[in-house]
Amino acid sequence: MRPAIKAKFPHLSSFNAYQIAADDLDKVPDILKGQIAIVATQGNVVTDATSVQIPGVLDDLYAYEGPLGPSFAEPPLRVAPVTMRLWAPTAQSVKLHLFPSADAETATQVVQMTPAAQGVWETTLEESWIGQYYLYEVTVYAPSTGQVENNLVTDPYSLGLSMNSTRTLLVNLNDPALMPDGWSELTKPPLAAPTDIVLYELHLRDFSANDKKVAEPNRGKFAAFTEKNSDGVKHLQKLAKAGVTHVHLLP
């Protein structure tokens, strides 16, 4: 095993290392999409077999630093309104299931995504799909079951999710219609150093769910933080006077 590999994977440094023949290197991307094993034989008899660890080769072949999830074109549009990207280098196929609502039983459209560079699958969508929901259907070999599985999953780069995270909402966070009044003019206070932070965590729903001074439609929601006379906001003001500088909101 080469010193550089030993340094990168010290827990494997005592293992034997084997190389794929140069003529077979172009087969590696397809090999990674299925079950992989190294087999020892004596004559025509299999004497041993073991699976293969692939994180290292995935890093070498498919390291990616570009955008993932939905990307939205800025006006004036010179490209597709929405580009969807998923990093899934070992997937055999990726499809995008589009739903008109969070609870629609069936997809109204299923789009076959195209493999691009560095293990990314992508497709483009029309602007009309913004505000609706989607799932990825990923066909991939699963070592846990020893079979090729079809997994219907949410986007790991979701910008919004339905109740109980069952579907991903296709949403543009830069849409002015989604911004509270004054959002674009708000300036974040400067912070000299992270060590100056005094942090308080609270759950969004618990903050106001039972606060009778909060308008009922706002209880348990972000809007509750705008009601300055509520018990919760008054308590936060007291904490601020006591030295708390930041609030971390949990669901």
pLDDT tens figures, 92-125: 999 999 999 999 999 999 999 999 999 999 999 9
pTM of structure: 0.80
Beta-carbon contacts of 11 under 8 Å, excluding residues fewer than 6 positions away, are: none
Residue whose C-alpha is closest to residue 70's, from 6, 16, 132: 132
Average pLDDT for residues 155-176, to the nearest whole number? 94
What is the residue-wise DSSP string for 76-126?
A: SP-S-SEEEEEE-TTEEEEEEEEESSTT-SS-SEEEE-EE-GGGEEEEEE-
Question: What per-residue confidence (pLDDT) applies to 46?
Answer: 94
Question: What per-residue confidence (pLDDT) applies to 181?
Answer: 84
* Beta strands, E only, 118-209: 120-125, 133-142, 147-153, 168-169, 199-203
Residue 89's pLDDT band, with cuts at 50, 70 and 90, is very high
Parts of the chain belonging to CATH 2.60.40.10: 64-172
Question: What per-residue confidence (pLDDT) applies to 19?
Answer: 86
CATH superfamily of 64-172: Immunoglobulins (2.60.40.10)
